[in-house]
């Protein structure tokens, strides 16, 4: 029996597309966790790499965004020439927190309703952590122990958490998942041809429970075992020994052949 709890449900992002997707994921998480109205990830040369701006701005949001835009040259100059790491700018209509993302980029977080004074330190700390995570992703570094060596634990935890979220969001695009779904559909048709369409889901569910597995995460040998169990434990009972023996004789080879075709 396979313990599903022990499956490492992470996707080790190594290609550029996945790392860029994780950067957007982190930007969204930073915004939501800290109740930011507008967040912009920018280069010190003024380029906007990514941003989250409401489609419809209220008056304070519009005013704060325009203020930041008008001061952008000055902000970029400070970050580039003076190596500014962070800055908190408070106005009567909102607060802007700037945190450096490496040496060549920064995060601008705009708050119409700024954090209370006793919460400001915590929020700033969150933004600094988020900026360090984004710097790792911006440099297109893999999420691995080798590339995270020397990081603070909270930064490492954040990066590892992103790999789990990426696994959830992108798992149905992986080759393994597509293979498993194709094998599952194939076996559903084979089982249905013997026990009838109405009994297919019951046989599949019972056999999966007996195997202690889930179709999405199945390995090659598990599919062979699943096929044998479905035939011996269920088809044999409903269709008899002759039919079951014939299924064993042909289905196992067919499943193995299909599995090899994915290699």
Residues 97 and 8: their CA atoms lie apart, in Å, by: 36
Residues 249 and 202: their CA atoms lie apart, in Å, by: 23
What is the predicted pLDDT for the residue at 111?
93
The answer on pLDDT for 11 being more than 50 is: no
Taking only the tens place, the pLDDT of each residue in 153-170 is 988 888 888 888 877 776
Residues 245 and 198: their CA atoms lie apart, in Å, by: 22
Whole-model pTM?
0.64
The answer on pLDDT for 247 being more than 80 is: yes
The answer on pLDDT for 255 being more than 80 is: yes
Average pLDDT across the chain, whole number: 84
Q: How confident is the model at residue 4 (pLDDT cuts 50, 70, 90)?
A: very low
Residues 140 and 152: their CA atoms lie apart, in Å, by: 19
Taking only the tens place, the pLDDT of each residue in 80-90 is 666 567 788 88
């Amino acid at each position: 029996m396979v313990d599903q709890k022990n499956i490492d449900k992470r996707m080790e992002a190594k290609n550029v597309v996945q790392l860029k997707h994780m950067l957007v994921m982190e930007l969204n998480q930073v915004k939501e966790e800290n109740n930011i109205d507008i967040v912009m990830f920018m280069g010190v040369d003024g380029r906007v790499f990514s941003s989250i701006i409401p489609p419809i701005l209220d008056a304070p949001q519009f005013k704060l965004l325009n203020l930041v835009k008008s001061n952008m040259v000055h902000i970029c100059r400070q970050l580039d020439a003076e190596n500014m790491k962070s800055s908190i700018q408070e106005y009567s209509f909102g607060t802007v927190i700037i945190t450096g993302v490496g040496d060549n980029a920064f995060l601008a977080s705009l708050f119409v309703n700024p954090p209370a004074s006793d919460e400001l330190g915590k929020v700033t700390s969150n933004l600094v952590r988020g900026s360090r995570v984004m710097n790792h992703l911006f440099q297109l570094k893999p999420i691995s122990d080798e590339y995270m060596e020397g990081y603070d634990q909270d930064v490492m935890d954040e990066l590892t958490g992103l790999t789990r979220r990426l696994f959830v969001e992108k798992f149905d695009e992986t080759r393994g998942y597509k293979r498993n779904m194709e094998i599952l559909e194939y076996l559903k048709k084979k089982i249905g041809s013997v026990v009838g369409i109405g009994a297919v889901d019951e046989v599949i569910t019972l056999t999966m429970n007996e195997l202690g597995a889930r179709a999405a995460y199945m390995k090659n040998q598990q599919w062979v075992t699943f096929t044998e169990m479905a035939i011996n434990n269920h088809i044999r009972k409903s269709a008899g020994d002759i039919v079951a023996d014939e299924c064993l004789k042909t289905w196992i080879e067919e499943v193995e052949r299909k599995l090899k075709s994915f290699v």
